[in-house]
Structure 1
């Protein structure tokens, strides 16, 4: 299957199974096509984007003792993974002139995102909530609509959203273990391990595509669009070792850990 066809399948299909089930054929990139910027992904009716305030918030760690709350958490996380998958597909269509090696690598990461979506959706269903039973927000998707080039994508999606997930996955693993839900905890650990490689991919391509005179940190900051900013790339339980495994320098990690929001924008 052509990478473009794969991206169109993920982004434009209204059937969830077509969006998140892996394909068995080898990917080729012989016909990347013309640049297309899709305004909104096609989704089944029960997964259409709702107003952000209509979608439930991630339950507190203490509330996860309730199986229903754990189901809600997995439902929210399934939508996060689906949005990341859709943004990656959008990127392949929006920037067909990106290096083919990058496009192949991104397509491989999309297979991980498909699996993550299925894992969360299946766990939510096991706990009593079908994926699509609750309203879902479009926060990740909307932020991606500001990406003007591949470097914007690399700074925003892999290094902010997936970078932050290096922390959130461990926070949630701890929270699920605390209430005795080892299956949910195992899911979070598996996703954490994948995220290390996703962040590594983003960082390696940032280094390849940025101007030589810019440091990693300078290129990262330069290609962030408000409200994305360095402090958004970390959670509460800062995972330094995971970032080292992803290839970040100690200087980059130190700056990320100490980054503060000094603006007053809203």
Structure 2
């Protein structure tokens, strides 16, 4: 029987976006149906495969996209979000397969379900871009999310602290304002898509917090204190407000974690 690690590696090694979506959906469906073995017999690649487009630039070379007030700005923002969701497919499957042997089977259940969500998010954003006369790859993008994954490849707690509990949690802070801007511009379809993604991301951050706290308890660590220490050493960004405390609380990420270092 094919292992979950082998299925995850196929996802990461698939470059073409819609093929990656299909591979992710196939792996998630096979896992749910018990057709993949809970076994970690292959290593994950250091970097996932990437298509020829979009051009990947360092963050400091990315063109300014504005806040979504103009049509051009909204397209740029939708493209940036599509890229985040595209990378997030790999992040979820890498999380499940790279660290799954360190956790109960339910860890894999959670992160494979996240991978399926991210594949769906990318697909609907890509479809929305096409309906507006653009496409994924039409603009440059940056690979900061995967840089965070590379930096935490050897430490499950660091990966949980940085990716779902810092980077994805930031999305909870900024998305409601973005949804309002799209509504204000009359783009209600895009606004509804972003709100759907926002609702799913609360659950994703909750998975990160849950497994971080389980691992800390097993290791005799205080979760909030250890998270702050890991953010201080492993996170290249800055924990800054304004914070969506309500959404963060729903995800279990209370101010005990971020209030002292914001």
TM-score bucket of the superposed structures, by smaller chain = 0.7 to 0.9
Q: Is the 8 A contact 1:2 1:30 kept in 2?
A: yes
In structure 2, how many angstroms separate the alpha carbons of the residues matched to 1:229 and 1:210?
22
Q: 1:165, 1:20 → 2: CA distance?
A: 22
2:180 corresponds to: 174
After superposition, the C-alpha distances for 1:202-256 in whole angstroms (9 at most, x for unaligned) are: 1111111114543221121233364627953x553x21111222223xxx32552
C-alpha change, 1:80 and 1:26, in structure 2 (3 Å) is same
Equivalence map 1:77-156=2 (5 Å):
77-99=81-103, 100-147=105-152, 148-156=154-162
Bigger Cα displacement from structure 2, 147-156 vs 35-44: 35-44
Residues 1-266 of structure 1: pairs in structure 2 closer than 5 A: 2-21=3-22, 22-23=25-26, 25-27=29-31, 28=34, 30-34=37-41, 36-47=43-54, 49-57=56-64, 59-61=65-67, 64-99=68-103, 100-147=105-152, 148-211=154-217, 213-224=220-231, 226=233, 228=235, 231-232=238-239, 235-236=241-242, 238-248=243-253, 252-253=254-255, 256-257=258-259, 259-260=261-262
Q: Structure 1 residues 100-109 or 48-57, which shifts more? A: 48-57
Give the secondary-structure state (helix, strand or coil) at the position aligned to 1:180: coil
Larger displacement relative to structure 2 (90-99 or 183-192)? 90-99
Q: Which has more helix, going by share of residues?
A: 2
Corresponding residue pairs, total:
252
- Tell me if the contact between 2:3 and 2:37 (Cα under 8 Å) persists in the aligned partners: yes
- Structure 1 gap segments, 5+ residues each: 261-266
Distance 1:225 1:19 in 2: 34
How far apart are 1:134 and its partner, in Å? 1.4
Deviation at 1:69, TM superposition (A): 1.9
Instruction: Note if contact 2:12-2:90 (Cα within 8 Å) is conserved in structure 1.
Output: yes
TM-score, structure 2 normalization? 0.85
Structure 2: state its 5+ residue gaps: none
Equivalent-residue separation in structure 2 for 1:77 and 1:202 (angstroms): 20
d(CA) in 1 for partners of 2:73 and 2:20?
A: 26
TM value normalised by structure 1: 0.84
In structure 2, distance between residues paired with 1:19 and 1:235? 34
Distance in 1, matches of 2:159 and 2:89, equals 13
CA 1:49–1:195: 2 relative to 1, 3 Å:
same
